[in-house]
């Protein structure tokens, strides 16, 4: 049986993919260096799946160790998520971002090449599109990095494109995520970064609901959107995770490099998300309107039809599911810490 290597498997997205791999009885090994995730996630994965989770502590920049793992575990495909992901932090510390996201991926690709593993699913981001030139955004939309985090994802996509040209045996899928939110339905897995405070909308709303922040700052209500607040394409983390399983199945039969947008195709405003959260949690969120946040765009949502067609993937979960599961997780997470 073939074995999958899941890099960054104890992080927010990785742990949800791991839960699906376990549910589908796929053979997989997680590697992580816990730079931004907690070791307790592995135990929670075991509790959720009722299975032993194979795990090795490893930094993706350690090529020698990667080669050893690829050989010993007889890896046939890699789902590569291990990366740093804060836009703000990437502006303050670009070298760290290029080191982990670019050098780390190069190290992984070199290890894969050495061992002859040529199947890869890569975690990219919609941030690479920059300021939208048209909506919804399809995969042909021009690429334009507006911060080092986005640039690091573009560099890796370019490396993958060159790699495919040099060796036609590679099968690579790059998944461009829009705005993943929500949590696993079990309540044990969710967005739970270790060292950085999330500045994303739903985690901030939850902190306000928990009384950890006084009020939510809405960054601008003067965008040319229906209610003036920013529009994004929020996608349930379990829908995002399931796309990786589909992508993994896809690369078994397709050589080359394929890029896919992962979103619902539906734009949701900041106000709509707040209203939905208030409805499911029955908590009123104190809020004030402040200036626009530097680097923010007014509207950004996907045309996900390519993933629908080629991966045979559909999103299943609603905005209510996203708010409800994230809220549930924040409560259980607080209890078991
Ligand atoms: N927002 C607020 N107040 C907050 C936080 C956010 O009003 O306290 C607004 C933003 O202005 C924006 C919307 O909520 O209109 C969503 O903001 P997020 O920070 O949740 O998400 P972004 O779209 O800015 O960025 C996210 C990820 C990036 C990723 C990008 C993909 O954080 O890493 O989506 O396009 F690159």
Concatenate the DSSP letters of all residues of 8-19 into one string. TTTSHHHHHHHH
Tokens of 267: 């734009």
Residue 335 has pLDDT above 70, yes or no: no
Please pick, among 12, 97, 129, 149, the residue that the annotation labels catalytic.
149
DSSP string, 83-110: ----HHHHHH-HHHHIIIIIIHHHHHHH
Residue 195 has pLDDT above 80, yes or no: no
149 is catalytic: yes
First to last CA, the chain: 37
Atom of ligand 1 nearest to the CA of 270: 14
Tokens of 307: 């993933």
CA-proximal residue: ligand 1, atom 14 (nearest): 201
- 63-72 and 104-115 helices, crossing angle to 10°: 40
Q: What is the pLDDT of residue 81?
A: 98
Residue 51 has pLDDT above 70, yes or no: yes
Question: What is the distance in A from the centroid of ligand 1 to the CA of 241?
Answer: 20
Give the whole-angstrom CA distance, residue 215 versus residue 208: 6
Q: What average pLDDT does range 50-76 have in this prediction?
A: 98
Q: CA geometry: angle at 95 spanning 93 and 96, to 5°?
A: 70
Given a contact cutoff of 8 angstroms between Cβ atoms, the answer to whether 278 and 206 are in contact is no
Q: What is the pLDDT of residue 204?
A: 97
What pLDDT, in 10s, does the model give residues 296-325? 999 999 999 999 999 999 999 999 999 999
Question: What is the distance in A from the centroid of ligand 1 to the CA of 200?
Answer: 5
Atom of ligand 1 nearest to the CA of 229: 15
* Cis amide leading into 136 (omega within 30): yes
Q: What is the pLDDT of the chain when averaged over all its residues?
A: 96
Q: What is the pLDDT of residue 187?
A: 95
Task: Among 230, 292, 301, 304, name the best residue to mutate to test ligand 1's pocket (greatest count of ligand atoms within 8 A of Cβ).
Answer: 230
Question: What is the distance in A from the centroid of ligand 1 to the CA of 209?
Answer: 18
CA-proximal residue: ligand 1, atom 15 (nearest): 230
Atom of ligand 1 nearest to the CA of 300: 35
Q: Could you tell me what percent of the chain has a pLDDT over 90?
A: 92
| Residue of higher predicted confidence among 335 and 111 | 111
Pocket of ligand 1 (CB under 6 A): 85, 87, 125-127, 178-179, 199-201, 204, 216-219, 230, 232, 270, 293, 296, 300
- Residue 23 φ/ψ region, left for φ over 0, alpha for ψ in the -120 to 50 degree band, beta for the rest: alpha
CA-proximal residue: ligand 1, atom 6 (nearest): 201
Residues 6+ apart with CB under 8 A from 49: 19, 22, 23
What pLDDT, in 10s, does the model give residues 129-182? 999 999 999 999 999 988 999 999 999 999 999 999 999 999 999 999 999 999
Local confidence band at 220 (pLDDT 50, 70, 90 cut-offs) = very high
Local confidence band at 50 (pLDDT 50, 70, 90 cut-offs) = very high
Q: What average pLDDT does range 181-187 have in this prediction?
A: 97
Task: Among 81, 152, 154, 270, name the best residue to mutate to test ligand 1's pocket (greatest count of ligand atoms within 8 A of Cβ).
Answer: 270
Choose among 298, 314, 324: nearest CA to 262: 314
DSSP string, 21-77: HHHTT-EEEEEE--SSS-THHHHHHHHHHTSPPEEEE--TT-HHHHHHHHHHTTEEE
Local confidence band at 1 (pLDDT 50, 70, 90 cut-offs) = low
Give the whole-angstrom CA distance, residue 131 versus residue 39: 37
Task: Among 232, 264, 275, 304, name the best residue to mutate to test ligand 1's pocket (greatest count of ligand atoms within 8 A of Cβ).
Answer: 232
Give the whole-angstrom CA distance, residue 124 versus residue 234: 16
Give the whole-angstrom CA distance, residue 147 versus residue 130: 9
Q: What is the pLDDT of residue 336?
A: 64
């Amino acid at each position: 049986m073939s074995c999958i290597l899941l890099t960054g498997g104890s992080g927010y997205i990785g742990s949800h993919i791991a839960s699906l791999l376990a549910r589908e009885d796929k053979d997989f090994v997680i590697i992580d260096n816990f730079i931004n995730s907690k070791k307790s996630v592995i135990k929670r994965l075991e509790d959720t799946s009722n299975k032993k989770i194979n795990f090795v502590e490893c930094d993706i920049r350690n090529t020698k160790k990667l080669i050893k793992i690829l050989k010993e575990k007889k890896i046939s495909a890699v789902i590569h998520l291990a990366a740093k992901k804060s836009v703000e932090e990437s502006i303050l510390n670009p070298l760290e971002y290029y080191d982990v996201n670019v050098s780390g991926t190069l190290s992984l690709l070199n290890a894969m090449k050495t061992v002859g593993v040529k199947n890869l699913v890569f975690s990219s981001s919609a941030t690479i599109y920059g300021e939208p030139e048209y909506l919804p955004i399809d995969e042909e939309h021009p690429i334009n990095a507006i911060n080092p985090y986005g640039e690091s994802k573009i560099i890796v996509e370019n490396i993958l494109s060159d790699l495919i040209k040099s060796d036609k045996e590679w099968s690579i899928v790059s998944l461009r995520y829009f705005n993943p939110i929500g949590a696993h339905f079990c309540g044990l897995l969710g967005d739970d970064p270790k060292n950085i405070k999330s500045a994303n909308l739903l985690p901030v709303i939850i902190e306000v609901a928990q009384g950890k922040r006084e009020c939510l700052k809405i960054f601008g209500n003067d965008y040319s959107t229906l209610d003036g607040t920013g529009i994004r394409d929020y996608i349930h983390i379990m829908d995002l995770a399931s796309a990786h399983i589909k992508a993994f199945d896809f690369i078994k039969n397709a050589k080359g490099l394929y890029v896919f947008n992962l979103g619902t195709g539906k734009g949701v405003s900041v106000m709509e998300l707040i209203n939905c959260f208030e409805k499911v949690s029955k908590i009123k969120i104190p809020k004030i309107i402040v200036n626009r946040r530097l680097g923010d765009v007014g509207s950004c949502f996907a045309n996900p039809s390519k993933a629908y067609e080629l991966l045979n993937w559909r999103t299943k979960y609603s905005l209510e599911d996203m708010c409800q599961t994230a809220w549930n997780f924040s409560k259980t997470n607080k209890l078991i810490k």
